[in-house]
Structure 1
Amino acid sequence: MLPKKIKIAGVNYKVDLKELMPLSELERNDCHFQMGWCIEPTTTIEVNSVMSKEKIKQTLIHEMVHGLMHESGLDSELENEEEITNRLSLVLYQTLKDNDFTFIRK
């Protein structure tokens, strides 16, 4: 369903779909749910496999935006990176879903 890798700004990111555990015992106790993460040092994106297909796709786009922010150097300059990433990834996901972008490869 998901690609095995995605190239972000010329860098290959491995994409793993698997069940993710909370980051900490505190999150586990608070019932936080880890949907995914982008691990920049290892250029890996992990997406939680227990979600619906739609949420899996949305989360992949969200983590890709984190990768874009990192590769552009913006992630170290922004205090509110997660909020910006959330907003951008939601509109990017819907734009990608609603349009045919095959013209880019022609």
Structure 2
Amino acid sequence: MVPNKVNIAGIEYMVNQVEGLAEEQEVQGQVFYHKGLIKIDANMTEDKKEQTFVHEMFHAIMEEAGFQEQEEETVSRLSNVLYQVLKDNSFAFGKEPGECL
């Protein structure tokens, strides 16, 4: 499930699922650092939306950590593995089992 917002290094990023992003912009997701905004194309499977969210979140993590230059191939490879680890292990640090994130 893609959240409506995510906190990254103390910055709250709103997450919007929008129609037509892939068709109009030819991307599945976008991150706008100065607006604290992540956009995900709404016309994808739930798994693909989640994977795209983790990809865009990873870009924001890199930005907030001070990495101004980000190679797309590196971000894609690392975010795909991070997505798999998060999904397959259902991490929820600081939360009780079954408690919402």
TM-score (norm 1): 0.80
TM-score (norm 2): 0.84
Separation in 2, partners of 1:65, 1:47? 14
**SS of equivalent to 1:64:** helix
Dislocated runs of 4+, deviation >3 Å: none
Match of 1:90 in 2: 80
Match of 1:62 in 2: 55
- Do structure 1's residue 37 and structure 2's residue 18 form an aligned pair? no
User: What residue identity is the alignment partner of 2:15?
Assistant: V
Q: How does 1:1-106 map to 2 (within 5 A)?
A: 1-19=1-19, 20=21, 21-23=23-25, 33-74=26-67, 76-78=68-70, 81-102=71-92, 104-105=93-94
Deviates more, 1:12-21 or 1:86-95: 12-21
Structure 1: gaps of 5 or more residues: 24-32
User: What residue identity is the alignment partner of 2:89?
Assistant: N
Separation in 1, partners of 2:5, 2:90? 21
Offset at residue 61 of structure 1 (A): 0.2
Offset at residue 46 of structure 1 (A): 0.1
Separation in 2, partners of 1:62, 1:36? 8
User: What residue identity is the alignment partner of 1:67?
Assistant: A
The sequence identity of aligned pairs, in percent, is 43
Offset at residue 18 of structure 1 (A): 0.9
Q: Which has the larger radius of gyration?
A: 1
